[in-house]
Amino acid sequence: MTDQAPVAPDGADLEEWLDRHEISIIRVEGMALDPLSLGKQLHRSKFSGSLPKGPAVTEFVFGYDLGGTPSLGFWGDWRPSNLGDVHLRPDPATLSPVPERRGWASCMADFTDTAGRALPLCGRTLVRSLAGRLADRGYASRFAFELEGQLFEESFAEARRRNWRGLTPVGVQAPVAYLHQNHHRMAPFFEVVCSRLDEMGIVWEAWNDEAAPGQFELNLAPVDPVTAADRLVRTREVFKEVAHEQNRSVTFMSRVTEEYGNGLHVHHSLSDLETGEPVFFDPGEEGNRSRILDHWIGGLMATMPGAVSLMSPTVNSFRRLQGFLAAPTHLTWAGDNKSTALRVLSASPGATRVEHRVAGGDAHPYYMIAAILAGGLAGLEHSLEPPPAHEGLAWGLPDRFEALPVSITTAADALAEDALLREQLGSDVIDYWIGSRRFEWLMFHTTGGDAEATSPTPWEMSRYFELL
C-alpha cells in the first residue's frame, strides 16, 4: 500500500514525502457542480510555494454546464461578479503517487475564495462540515460503495466516431450476473485497475460481472466520508485512464443500453466517536435496530424525495430509476430487500448498516454523501420516526405508494420543497444546485434531446458517455 500518512502542509514532512517518492509534478484535484475531476498539474516548487492557498482557477468552473454553455438564470451571492479566480486548497494528507506516471503525485483539494474562505458549493468542504456536526453529537460515520459501470471493446475515439451506437460490450452479451466467462474477459482490464488502486492505497474488496452486458461492479472498503468520496473520485479516474490506455471505453452513465442501469449503492454506519462501538445495533429493540438507527432511517426517508436530486445529476440518471430495472422507484425501506430504496441490515453489531440504493454510477460523490449525512442528521435532531417497513417486492407498486421523482425537474422541485435538507445544507447549496439542474433540463430540451424518448438518446450519449 502507498504511504498516505498525514503530512504538514508547509513543513519538512511534506518535502520529505516528496523526496522519498521522487515527485516532481503534483496534480491538484477538485470537483465543482458536475461529477468531473478538475484541477491543474503543478511543478513541485509551484505546489509547495502555493500552500496553503493552492493554485487559482477561474470561478467559471461553477458557472458552465457539461456542454460548456454558461449557466443562465441563476446566481449565488458567493460568486464574484467579475468572473475572477477561486482557489483549490490542497489537502496534503491525501497525497498519493500516480502509479502510471513516474514522478507524479495527486492531491485532493477544497474550493475556496481568494481570501481562503470555503465556497458554499464545495462538496468536499460540505461533507467535512456535516461529519463535524455528527462528531459534535458523539458519532463517526463510515461509507463504502458498490460502484457499477460498463466496459466496451471500442476506444473512446471509435465510440465517438460511431456516434455511440453499436458498441460491443466486453464479455458474453447475455443478461446474466457473476458469469466467470465474463470475469475471464474483463481480467486484463481489472488487473491493471486494481493494481493501481492498491498502489494508491485505495482498498477494494471485490469485483464481479453484473447483469447487463459489459457491466461490472467494484466494491470499495468502508472509510470516513471525506476519504470515501475522495477514493470514489480517484477510482473512476483510474477506470477512465486504463480504458484509454487499452483502447477500450468505460462509462458510469446511469443507463447506457436497454438493459439494467449502473447503480452506486452506498453502505454506511455510525459508531461511538470515543469507543468505536457501533450504535445502529440494539438486540433489545425490534429488528435489532437501535433508536439511533430508527431516527436515522426516519430522516433519510423524510428527505429522500429531495435527496434524489443531489444523487441524480443528469437527465440520464432518471433512465435507471424505472420499474423492474433493479433500481428503486418508490419511497420505501425494509430489511434485507434489494427492491427498496433503503436496505437496512442488522443481523450483528459489526455488520449493521444502511444501504442507500438510489444513486447511480454518475452521482457526485460529495453531494451524494452530503445528502445522506444531512438526512440522517435531520432524523437525529428532530427524532424522526421511520414509516412502516415495506413488505414484499417494491417495484411496480400501485398509486397509493409514494413514487420517487421521475425526472431531473421533478427531483429539483422536491428538493426546493424540502425544509429539512435546506436546514442542514443551507440555501446557498440548495438554490444553486436546483438552478443548475433546471438548466441541464433546459439544455436537453433546446439543444437536441428527445423529450418523448423512453431510452437513452443520442444527446445523452454524446453529453455523458465519455465524461461520466
pLDDT of residue 11: 59
Q: How far is CA 236 from the centre of its chain?
A: 10
Locate the domains of the chain by residue range: 12-119, 130-464
Residue 83: phi, psi to the nearest 5? Answer: 50, 55
* DSSP characters over 231-270: HHHHHHHHHHHHHHHTT-EEE--S--SSS---BEEEEEEE
C-alpha cell at position 396: 411496480
The region, left, alpha or beta by phi > 0 then psi within -120 to 50, assigned to residue 383 is left
182 SS3 class: helix
pLDDT of residue 227: 97
CATH architecture of residue range(s) 130-464: 2-Layer Sandwich (3.30)
- DSSP β-bridge partners for residue 25: 43, 104
Nearest alpha-carbon partner for 218 in 240, 237, 196, 193 = 193
Residue 137: phi, psi to the nearest 5? Answer: -90, 0
Nearest alpha-carbon partner for 163 in 467, 464, 461 = 461
Using the 8-state DSSP alphabet, how is residue 73 labeled? Answer: S
Inter-residue contact 260 to 215 (CB < 8 Å): yes
- pTM of the shown model: 0.95
d(CA 468, CA 458): 15
Measured in residues, the chain has a length of 468
pLDDT of residue 77: 86
Q: 12-119 — its CATH code?
A: 3.10.20.70
Inter-residue contact 333 to 389 (CB < 8 Å): yes
Residue 163: phi, psi to the nearest 5? Answer: 55, 35
With a cut of 70, list the residues of the chain below it in pLDDT.
1-12
pLDDT of residue 12: 66
Neighbours of 269 (CB within 10 A): 24
Nearest alpha-carbon partner for 98 in 137, 41, 144 = 41
